Amino acid sequence: MTSMDQIEIGDGEDSGSAAPMPLLNRIDRAAVFLMLLSDEDAAALLSRMDPAEVEMIGAAMCELGEIDRAAMAEALEDFVAESTREVLARQDRGAQVRALLERSIGPAKTQSMMLRIEPEPKVRGIEIARWLAPPVLLKLVEEEHPQVIAALLLMLEPEPAAEVLSGLPTSVQPLVVERIARIGPVSQQAIDMIESLLSQKIGASFGISTLTIGGPREAANLINLASGDLRGTVLPAIAQRDGALAERIEEEMFTFEMLFDLDRQAMERLLRDVETEHLVDALKGLKEPERAPFFAAMSSRAADGIRDEIDLRGRLARSEVLAAQRKMVEVARALADQGEIIMGADDGEFV
């Protein structure tokens, strides 16, 4: 069936002398079709619609009276007609097959079956390149022909592409920019060539193992950088499905490095609640310039005392330093939740 934004509600007029008057409009036919499905299948389809679509379909379901055989046939015919104009997307096909097999033969047999029938996953070099830091990407392409570099830069986001361009030799930069300005259509053959080149270069530099991307920290960074109160909306929604994951993301949203940016008043408030032992252990793992924001919020006498304790403290395991820093972050987090300090931007309790 087509998306609801493509459906027009019929006005009941005959569009041609040979066509019979439709019994139902498009919304009603969609509603009837869903009611002919099992509850599980209907729910799965509704879950993929937006709220406005669900509201229209739901209203039609409630308003329809008794549905006769002719109306049901019309709804099914409408589905068949629409399906002839659609294609089944290949994306996530493996996951769909796995889900169907698990329901029919169980998880254990499905795993064995999928190992035999699922194509070997292939991570495209261009997709991996988009995740690489510009200095790393620069090393992969700096010796390539300017035309190749120009085509690759056009496939990246503007900011990293500009950074790669800046890192190229000054003699190469104008050649690349000129080709970017003139490049025009890029053939599929050229794209395949760049893809093959990148795959070889990435494989030689990093090996052929699967690239691991994402994680709680990356998710937390996106929330921190996004506008609006994503912490207040996204995390509760995730917590309903996976409370442990939501907690790990929230922990990563508050990092020790954020304490460096506290203003003097906020730092003074934080240090009042931090135990001296935790402060000493946390600062012992920092270089002297990184300790400056903490010492700046103390009196000279107090700062000298902490420096002495740091010098007298024996060797600490990295895990002990990180544990102390996490204790300080927990205190800062509690103060931020209470509105006593601001971590990050100043447009809410925390961003």
| Phi, psi angle pair for 262, to nearest 5° | -65, 140
Among 184, 155, 152, smallest CA distance to 168 is for 152
The CB-side HSE value for 92 (13 A sphere, CA atoms) comes to 3
Let me know whether 183 and 262 are in one domain: no
Are 176 and 168 spatial neighbours (Cβ–Cβ below 8 Å)? yes
Distance CA 334, CA 339 (A): 9
Q: Is residue 260 part of a domain?
A: yes
pLDDT attached to residue 124:
55
Q: Which of 288, 347, 267, 277 minimizes the C-alpha distance to 312?
A: 277
Position of tokens 């010796």?
143
Size (the chain), residues: 351
The whole-number pLDDT of residue 22 equals 67
Does a structural domain hold residue 292?
yes
Residue 95 belongs to a domain:
yes
Contact criterion met (CB below 8 Å) for 216 and 248: yes
Please report, to the nearest 10 degrees, the dihedral formed by the alpha carbons of residues 297, 300, 301, 303 taken in order.
50
DSSP 8-state code for residue 344: S
Query: What is the CATH number for 33?
Result: 1.10.220
Instruction: Name 128's bridge partners.
Output: none
Closest CA to 232 of 214, 245, 244, 250: 250
Alpha-carbon distance values, 339 to 257, 336, 343, 349 (Å): 20, 5, 10, 6
Are 102 and 139 within one domain? Answer: no
Q: Which domain holds residue 139?
A: 125-206
Phi/psi region, residue 138 (left: phi>0; alpha: psi -120 to 50; beta: rest), is alpha
How many domains are there within the chain?
A: 4
Closest-CA residue to 235 (of 218, 250, 215): 250
CA angle 45, 50, 53 (to 5 degrees): 80
Assess if residue 139 is contained within a domain. Answer: yes
Is position 222 within any domain? no
SS3 for 146? helix
261 and 337 housed in the same domain:
yes
- CA 238, 241, 247, 249 torsion: positive or negative? negative
Q: Determine the pLDDT at residue 275.
A: 93
**What does 214-235 look like in DSSP terms, one character per residue?**
--HHHHHHHHHHSSS-HHHHHH
Same structural domain for residues 71 and 96? no
Q: Give the pLDDT confidence score for residue 15 in this predicted structure.
A: 43
- Among residues 149, 171, 206, the one where a domain terminates is 206
Instruction: Return per-residue pLDDT of the chain as tens, 351 residues.
Output: 433 333 333 344 444 445 456 677 888 888 888 888 877 777 877 777 777 777 888 888 888 778 888 888 887 787 777 665 555 555 556 677 777 777 777 777 777 676 666 655 444 556 666 667 778 778 888 788 888 888 888 877 788 888 888 888 888 888 888 888 877 676 677 777 777 777 776 666 655 444 455 577 777 777 777 666 677 788 888 888 888 888 888 777 888 888 988 999 999 999 999 999 999 999 988 888 889 999 999 999 999 999 999 989 888 888 888 889 989 998 998 898 888 988 764 444 443
Tell me the C-alpha distance between 240 and 326, whole Å: 26
Do residues 97 and 75 share a domain?
no
Residue indicated by tokens 């740091």: 310
Q: What pTM does this model have?
A: 0.39
Q: What is the pLDDT of residue 299?
A: 92
Residues 98 and 79 in one domain: no
* Domain termination site, one of 141, 175, 206: 206
Q: What is the DSSP string of 13-28?
A: --SSTTSPPPSS-HHH
108 plus 136 within the same structural domain: no
Q: Are residues 28 and 64 in the same domain?
A: yes
Instruction: State residue 2's pLDDT score.
Output: 37
Residue 239 falls inside a structural domain = no
d(CA 269, CA 335): 9
| Residue pair 49/57 in contact by the 8 Å Cβ criterion | yes
CB 61 within 8 A of CB 31: yes
DSSP 189-206: HHHHHHHHHHHHHHHHHH
Within a domain: residue 296?
Answer: yes
Q: Do residues 74 and 102 share a domain?
A: no
Residue 156 belongs to domain with CATH number: 1.10.220.30
The verdict on residue 53 lying in a domain is yes
Residue with the two structure tokens 């409630």: 62
* Cβ atoms of residues 267 and 293 within 8 Å: yes
Amino acid identity of residue 344, one-letter, is: G
320 shares a domain with 261: yes
